[in-house]
Structure formats: C-alpha cells, structure tokens
C-alpha cells in the first residue's frame, strides 16, 4: 500500500517520465539484457530493433504514474499485459529482476534528479503493480489447467500444412498424446516455442484461425521480413515456413488473450469484422463462432489486402458466404495486380474509407472488431470515431506491443 506522500512523489515525476520515457526504457532493456540474459527468450528482437517495445513500456509507465491513485482505471491494459505474460510463462520470480533493473535505470538516466525519495516511491509503486500482475497471472495459469488441461508447453504434431496465400502458411496441430482439445475463445492466440537451427528457444504468439471446437488448432503464419534496416527477419515465422513440415512436432502453450468475441445477445445490431493482411486470423475464428452461435445476426466481414496473391482464406470465406445468408463479405485490394484486374475476384479497390462503411451499413449502429497492421488500425479507428461510433463498440488487437490508436 502506497502512502499519500509516495503517491504525491510519483505524480510529480510524470512530466519527467513523459520527457525521458523512451530514453529510460531503452536504457532499462539494454541493462536488463546485459545483467540478466536469461530473460532474453521472453522478448522479440524485432520489436526491440524497431523501438516499439520501448515506446510501449514508456507509455505504460507514464499511464501508471498518471493513475497511481486509481490503478483500476488501467484494468484493460493490465489484462492485456497479464495475458501476454501468461502466454510466455512469466512467473513471480521474474518480477524482482525487472524491478531491480528499472530502479537502477531510473537512477542512471536521471542522475541526481533521482533522489532517494523518488527511488523509494517508485520501489513501492512497482511492488504494488508487480503484486497485481502476479496474482492475475496465477489465476490465468489455474484457468488454463481447468479449461485446457495443461499449463506450460506441450508437444503438438503438425497434422497438415497448406498455403493460405503466397506469404502465409497454415499449420494444423493436434496433441501428440492424443488428448482431445477443449474449445478456445474466438480471438485467442497460442504460443509456439521452437529452437531454430538448434539455437536458443524462441517463443512467438499466433492467433488461432480455426473454428472453435475443431479437433485441431490452426495457426496461419505470415513470413515476416525485416521492417527496419539492420533488424532481423522474423526468426520464428521463417523457421515455420522453411523448416516445419507435416509430422514435425512443435511445443505449444495454452490459448491466451483478451481480444475475444463478446458473449452477449445483441442480434439487433450488425457485427462488423475488419481485417487487414494476416490480421484476419483471430477475426476468422470469430466469424465462425458468430455465424454458428449468433444465428440470424447480420455479420459483415471486410477484408483488406494488397492483392489477391497475398490475400488469405479466399475459398473459406466464399464457402461461408454461400452457407450463411446473414453474412456479407467485401474484399478491398489496395494495389491489385494486372491479373487481379483482368480476372476480378475482388469487390473494390483502394484503402478502407467512410464511403465503404456507408455502402455496407448505411447509418446503422454496429459492433466492430478490428485487427491488422498499425497504420490500418489507426485509420479504421479514425473512420469509426468520425462516424460517431462509441469506443465501447470498437474492439481491436495489435500484432506486437500495443500502440495508441488515437495518436
């Protein structure tokens, strides 16, 4: 429990954190990886190279300081992070490592400005936050054991491998021990652990793209190339594309994630799923669940892709369109190829815009789920806000560290 004085000190540091947040978090990660290399396996080097991990942590620290008197206001952010931590197997013993390096980084970056009073207040504040995460993550682990029958990592066999597009491969996974799979929540992801070229283990999250209740898990993996000069190509995605074949074994952690289809009876309003690129994966699972579980509700599925060569799941969506009269699908290509234009096979050209939403929805209210690259998400968020959509009706997921859509 923080004292009133400690709360006041934390609030006084907000301007300093806003000014120096990314410098502090860059220093923190460099220090922690140097002093505690055993935690490296929990982090994606591509996110470190791109700076997204540092920006996300800086934003989280500032948000915590701003809401230090009412951490409950950050419940959604805490749940997102706790789910991510649980997916990677982070345990209570990892928190002192983070705390020690964070406090040392505050001292080393701020210098004399980091008075003993400030360090004492932040040590207490970190302790409170660590307890919140530890308690929530322990509950998630217990729920995984109850809901899915295992925690940690379990061996799964690649039953089937197929191309979903030119740059996305789908892997169908079944438990090596033959145990039936329990139903996951539509929108959840699993964690895959591999050791490329016999090196250090690598863990990555991949959304489940299959219908909940199937007798397999399906992940659909895009081959990730370096996004900035000097950054590595996606270690795990390229390993899965180049090395993993039918009959191979992968280690999987149970489903996690808070970006799930809401369980409520709202059949009077359309459900709109807006997918960009490989961001279709959690939304496709949601689509199956909505069509089977919310029968009669109008569902609109908007898929945005560069061109048909990299557009995944065309046949699956076409089959669903034929089977369900309450489903409308719309494919918009931003850069259709000459072959696309000759053969058709798409509905419109360009980027997502207000005119398309009016065409499909008119002025009706709806519930929206979004997933895709950050620029697409920011653009979609702005379109929906301009349309007057309440934030409570906009659900979204980033691939990678969370960002601020309103920025």
What does pLDDT average to in each consecutive run of 10 residues of the chain (407 residues)?
94 92 94 95 82 88 93 92 96 97 95 95 96 97 96 97 97 96 97 88 96 97 78 84 97 97 79 97 97 92 97 97 96 96 94 96 95 94 96 84 53
Contacts of 213 (CB under 8 A, 6+ apart): 183
CA–CA distance, 404 with 378 (Å, rounded to integer): 8
Tell me how far the alpha carbon of residue 311 is from its chain's centroid: 20
The structure's pTM equals: 0.92
Determine, yes or no, domain membership for 128: yes
pLDDT digits (tens, 9 = 90+) for 309-363: 999 999 999 999 999 999 999 999 999 999 999 998 999 999 999 999 999 999 9
pLDDT of residue 45: 81
What total number of domains does the chain contain?
Answer: 3
Phi/psi for 220 (5° steps) reads: -125, 110
Instruction: Give domain status of residue 127, yes or no.
Output: yes
Considering the domain architecture, whether residues 209 and 183 belong to the same structural domain is answered as yes
CATH of the domain at 159: 2.40.30.10
User: Domain check: are 236 and 213 in the same one?
Assistant: yes
Residue 291 structural domain:
271-397
One domain, residues 143 and 179: no
Residues 188, 152: Cα–Cα separation, whole Å: 16
Q: Based on the fold, state whether residues 111 and 228 are members of the same structural domain.
A: no
Tell me the C-alpha distance between 403 and 406, whole Å.
9
pLDDT at 234: 84
Last residue of a domain, one of 127, 148, 169: 148
Q: Of 29, 50, 45, 35, give the one whose Cα is nearest residue 196.
A: 45
The Cβ of residue 393 has, within 10 Å, a number of other Cβ atoms equal to 16
In a domain, 136, yes or no: yes
Q: What is the pLDDT of residue 231?
A: 59
Query: Residue 199: what pLDDT?
Result: 80
Condensed to tens digits (0 to 9), the pLDDT of residues 204-251 reads 999 999 999 999 999 999 998 876 666 567 889 999 999 999 999 999
* Partners of 252 in the β-ladder: 154, 192
Alpha helices in 157-301 (DSSP H): 235-242, 280-293
Q: Which residues carry out catalysis?
A: 95, 137
Shared domain check, 392 and 323: yes
**Quick check: is 222 in a domain?**
yes
β-strand pairing of 348-349 with 367-371 = unpaired
pLDDT value at position 403? Answer: 54
Answer with the one of 148, 167, 201 that is the final residue of a domain: 148
Torsion angle of alpha carbons 261, 369, 284, 373, nearest 10°?
-130
How far apart are the C-alpha atoms of 250 and 264, rounded to whole Å? 35
pLDDT at 352: 96
User: Does residue 171 sit in the same domain as residue 232?
Assistant: yes
Claim to verify: residue 206 and residue 298 sit in the same structural domain: no
Give the residue among 312, 315, 348 at the shortest CA–CA distance from 330.
Answer: 348
């Amino acid at each position: 429990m923080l004292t009133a004085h400690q709360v006041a000190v934390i609030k006084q540091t907000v301007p300093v954190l806003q000014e120096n947040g990314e410098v502090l978090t860059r220093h923190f990660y460099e220090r922690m990886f140097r002093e505690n290399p055993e935690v490296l396996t929990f982090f994606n080097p591509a996110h470190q190279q791109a700076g997204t991990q540092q920006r996300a942590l800086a934003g989280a620290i500032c948000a915590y300081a701003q809401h230090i008197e009412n951490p409950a206001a950050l419940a959604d952010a805490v749940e997102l992070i706790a789910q991510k931590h649980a997916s990677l197997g982070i345990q209570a013993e990892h928190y002192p490592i983070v705390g020690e390096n964070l406090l040392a980084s505050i001292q080393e970056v701020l210098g004399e400005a980091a008075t003993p009073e400030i360090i004492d207040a932040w040590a207490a504040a970190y302790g409170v936050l660590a307890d919140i995460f530890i308690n929530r993550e322990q509950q998630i682990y217990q729920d995984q054991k109850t809901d899915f029958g295992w925690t940690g990592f379990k061996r799964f066999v690649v039953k089937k491998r197929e191309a979903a597009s030119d740059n996305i491969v789908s892997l169908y996974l079944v438990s090596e021990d033959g145990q039936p799979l329990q139903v996951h929540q539509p929108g959840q992801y699993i964690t895959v652990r591999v050791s490329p070229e016999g090196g250090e283990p690598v863990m990555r999250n991949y959304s489940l793209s299959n219908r909940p209740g199937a007798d397999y898990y399906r992940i659909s993996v895009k081959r990730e190339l370096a996004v900035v000069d000097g950054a590595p190509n996606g270690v795990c995605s390229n390993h899965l594309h180049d090395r993993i074949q039918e009959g191979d074994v992968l280690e999987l952690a149970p489903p996690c994630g808070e970006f799930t289809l809401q369980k409520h009876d709202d059949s009077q309003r359309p459900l709109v799923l807006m997918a960009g690129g490989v961001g279709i994966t959690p939304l496709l699972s949601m689509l199956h669940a909505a069509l089977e579980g919310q029968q009669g509700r109008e569902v609109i599925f908007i898929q945005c892709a560069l061109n048909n060569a990299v557009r995944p799941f065309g046949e699956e969506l076409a089959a669903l369109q034929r089977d369900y009269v309450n489903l409308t699908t719309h494919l918009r290509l931003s850069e259709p190829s000459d072959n696309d234009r000759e053969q058709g096979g798409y509905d419109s050209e360009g980027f997502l815009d207000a005119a398309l939403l009016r065409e499909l929805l008119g002025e009706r209210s709806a519930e929206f789920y979004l997933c895709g690259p950050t620029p697409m998400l920011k653009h979609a968020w702005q379109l929906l806000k301009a349309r007057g959509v309440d934030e409570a009706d906009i659900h979204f997921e980033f691939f990678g560290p969370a960002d601020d859509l309103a920025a």
